[in-house]
Amino acid sequence: MIPVAGRAAGRLRRNNVALLAFSMEETLKIKWALVFLAVALAAGVMGLSGLAGTCVDLAMFALSLAFVIFLVPLVLGYTAFKKVA
């Protein structure tokens, strides 16, 4: 279950629908992407271009993976799960 605060919490829990709420896996991947981006910027400032390039690649991979994890349930929610309900 995704923790949601405020008035929407009861409504989301009742309907078992999490609108615009990120999963824990997706949030973790976004955090890793930001960490790699920060390391890449720091390495680029210090002149370590090889390390900076590697960190940028890892950041882009983590961000694209989080985007795919976001899109798959979104597309399934509009197609397959509507047919079941």
State which residues of the chain have pLDDT below 50. Answer: 1-2, 4, 6-15, 18-20
- The total of other beta-carbon atoms located within 10 Å of residue 46's CB is 10
pLDDT at 22: 57
pLDDT at 32: 86
pLDDT at 9: 45
pLDDT at 23: 67
1 assigned to some structural domain: no
> Six-digit token pair at 3?
């923790």
70 assigned to some structural domain: yes
pLDDT at 7: 47
4 assigned to some structural domain: no
pLDDT at 21: 55
Q: CA–CA separation, 60 vs 5, rounded Å?
A: 30
Q: CA–CA separation, 24 vs 34, rounded Å?
A: 15
Give the range of the structural domain holding residue 36, as residue numbers without chain letter. 22-84
